[in-house]
Amino acid sequence: MAHKLEYSLTLSLKNHTKGKLNERELVGVVLKNLLYGRITYLHSGKGQEMSPTMGAHDNTLLVRKLPVVDTRYVFVGDAVVLKDPNETDKFLVRRLAALEGSEMVSTDEKEEPFVLEKDQCWVVAENQEIKSKEAYDSRTFGPVSMADIVGRAIYCLRTAVDHGPVSNSEFAMEEDSPLLAVELDVDELAKDHKA
């Protein structure tokens, strides 16, 4: 309940400060989200970039929505869902490898080191079998805006018998465990799963 209240307040206050909600509407929206809203959604995806954590074929993810994306909500090591930098109507799942202020050094001596700027992050595919030049991640498209992250993958259904929590940073796993207890419905995941 505390997570739902925090999510609802953060999202509603953001809309209130932008002038989209007045004070009376703010209270109504907070209560509605608190009583009826969900903090998670289902995301279907495929691709070998995140194998073996997520299946190389179709999989269904339970994703935690993130109302504000900053270093209080996402951590290095998290599997995040983000807008594809080249096709903004599509979404990718990648591992968060570095946050703003991190120095990025290439194994290629011809490339100059650089520091990630404010509100930038670096995401990578984790399949070790894919060569870095072939991976569709920050090594290909560069740093990503933190604003492009929409959620954190917290549970993965690869097949009807192969499913479980997604391994994320220790902080994220601690934050997400109460959500899994309340919002995880494996039967709902299986219905949405396209196998």
The residues annotated with a catalytic role in the active site are 49, 94
Q: Which amino acid is present at 38? A: R
Q: Are 141 and 86 in contact (CB under 8 A)?
A: yes
Spatial distance between the Cα atoms of 1 and 97, rounded to a whole number of angstroms: 30
Query: 184-187 — which CB contacts under 8 Å span 24+ positions?
Result: 184/62, 184/155, 186/157
Which residues is 99 bridged to in the sheet? 121
Spatial distance between the Cα atoms of 94 and 47, rounded to a whole number of angstroms: 11
CA distances from 84 to 47, 75, 144 (A): 14, 19, 9
Give DSSP secondary structure letters for 70-99: STTT--TT-EEEEE-SS-TTSEEEEEEEEE
At which residue do the structure tokens 């691709």 appear? 47
Q: Which amino acid is present at 45? A: G
